[in-house]
Amino acid sequence: MTRQALTSRRLFVGASVVVLALLTYFQFPGHTFLQSDTQVYLPILEHFRDPSLFRHELLAQHPHVAFTIYDEVALGLGRLTGLDFLAVLTAQQLVYRALGILGVYLLATALGLSVRMALFVAATFALGATIAGPTVLTFEYEPVPRGFAVPLIFFALGLAAHGHDLSAGAAATLAFLYHAPAAAAFWIVYFLLTLWPSKPTDMRRRIWGLAPMACGVLVLLVCSRGQIGVREPQMFFERVGPELEKLQRMRASYNWVGMWAGTLTSHYVFLWAVSMAAFWRLVRFISEDLNFLLAGLPLVGLASMPVSYLLLDRMKWALIPQAQPARALLFVTALAGILAAIAAVKAGEQRRYWESALWLLVVFAIPTQTRVLQVLIPDLSSPLIRRRVLLIVALAACAVLAMWAANAKRRWAAVAWSVAVLAPFFVIPIYGQVRNYPALHTPELKELADWARTATPKDAVFLFPDARQDLQPGVFRAQSLRALYVDWKAGGQINYARRLADEWWPRWQQTMAGGFRPEKLETYAGLGIDYIVLRPANRLAGRTPVFEN
């Protein structure tokens, strides 16, 4: 290949990856801000930047970012550029999504796929997936540490597939620095790979891949020791007591495998079987290093279920709700989709189009239905399931047609390929009616937050006593820069901070349990609550609101 042709190919691949990353952000699976965990991180970051903010906020009093560079990078980029946290976090989110997509492209090319077909595989990965049970995503909608770490792991996987172990180690180390639990499965498999007997040159290359991790551990230790604010004592060797267990099972059931494994075990065993069947289909194209990674990551993911159950549900180890090992099931789902897509392309190259179609049914079922068996073994009495089954079959047929056109060298092959790559981003959310997140932001909520930020003291404390488990109070907290006495979202931090649990639950019981009652007004004032926010249906008779809309 000439230098000009190589440059053109690189520009094409780079532009395609950027387009796919933008589609994941603006179209599907999409993005959010202040709808999930950024409701937790923003008050912590704002308090670190300006200690006069959120002095009475539980989240800021119990930060859980000592063992991540997420806060240091956000604060550093904010100071360097002068941009707000939304801008610096979004920029990172887009960059890391693009790197994750590029990593899957590299993985596909390492297995011998053409540029276009490798981009097709990367595009199917970019459609995302929801991992039910442990409640995690392959593409996090929010710019949170795990959302940065997971794409970096797939970038590392792509680099390792081409023998660039040092670069892969650097990418996986950066993932570890952002979110250590998300990177754990990769490092377990890679460490076992370095122990596997092999040629001296391969051993040296693998050991070089470990070098960045040694530096990363040191960096994380230094960052944790220099953490701004109060460091929460870590419960490394403690047990979850009965009261805390009851609270965690109520508020953070995703950590307790026994609460959801009964309905989801068959789902993950099926996806693991798909990944292994595809792996076996491709094994002759896979290098020794990649054998370990592609077989090991789904195995570690599947094993995380019984391991988590043993360590938390049975042994009650207090560290497990923080480490959340069952979230490694992400690699079962992701690699089932990636390997099935590659297997489909390989079958298409051999003119085995019926086999391609079977693999592609799984590939498109993953982003369309959280539990894929519901559409692969469908209950056709459900109109939504019928609609999604038809959609999955149509997308698989479209992709098979693109493969046939490429093999037959039809003039319209490029158009067919473009449709196969781009159409799922539009038809899955529209025709498939896949809604990944609710609409929490409203003009009225923004008006309230703006008023609170400009018309109330920095130390003002708010309560939404009739909000129940709604997430809108967390939006208000971040936008108004004012503390909440208690809200449902903050309770999710009981995984990380026992002292927060000791405060959060009594506050919830005092103010939120049982709903709003006017006779509690004196109680609210006695607890240090300055303002309450009520729905119009609970307007207080004989009182004039300081603000209403």
Segment 277-329, tens digit of pLDDT: 999 999 999 988 899 999 999 999 999 999 999 999 999 999 999 999 999 99
Mean of per-residue pLDDT scores for the chain? 94
Integer CA distances (angstroms), 202 to 160, 193, 287, in order: 12, 10, 12
Tokens representing 302 are: 């599947």
The confidence score (pLDDT) of residue 198 equals 83
DSSP for residue 506: H
3-state class of 237 per DSSP?
coil
Q: Within the chain, which residues score under 70 in pLDDT? A: 226-235
Closest Cα partner for 513 from 548, 474, 472, 463? 463
The confidence score (pLDDT) of residue 232 equals 59
Give the separation between CA 463 and CA 79, rounded to whole angstroms.
32
Q: How long a stretch of residues is the chain?
A: 549
Calculate helix-pair angle for 383-407, 329-349, nearest 10 degrees.
40
Q: Which residue has the tokens 């932001």?
A: 441
Q: What is the pLDDT of residues 57-76, one digit of tens each?
A: 999 999 989 899 999 999 99
Q: Residue 320 in contact with residue 286, Cβ under 8 Å?
A: no
The confidence score (pLDDT) of residue 88 equals 98
pTM: 0.96
Give the separation between CA 435 and CA 75, rounded to whole angstroms.
32
Omega into 181 within 30° of 0, i.e. cis?
Answer: no
Give the separation between CA 485 and CA 530, rounded to whole angstroms.
9
Spatial neighbors of 18 by CB under 8 A, at least 6 apart, are: 98
Closest Cα partner for 208 from 289, 135, 276? 289
Q: Residue 504 in contact with residue 491, Cβ under 8 Å?
A: yes
3-state class of 461 per DSSP?
strand
The confidence score (pLDDT) of residue 117 equals 98
The confidence score (pLDDT) of residue 15 equals 98
The confidence score (pLDDT) of residue 17 equals 98
Q: What is the pLDDT of residues 336-385, one digit of tens each?
A: 999 999 999 999 999 999 999 999 999 999 999 999 999 999 988 999 99
3-state class of 435 per DSSP?
coil
Calculate helix-pair angle for 85-110, 329-349, nearest 10 degrees.
40
The confidence score (pLDDT) of residue 231 equals 59
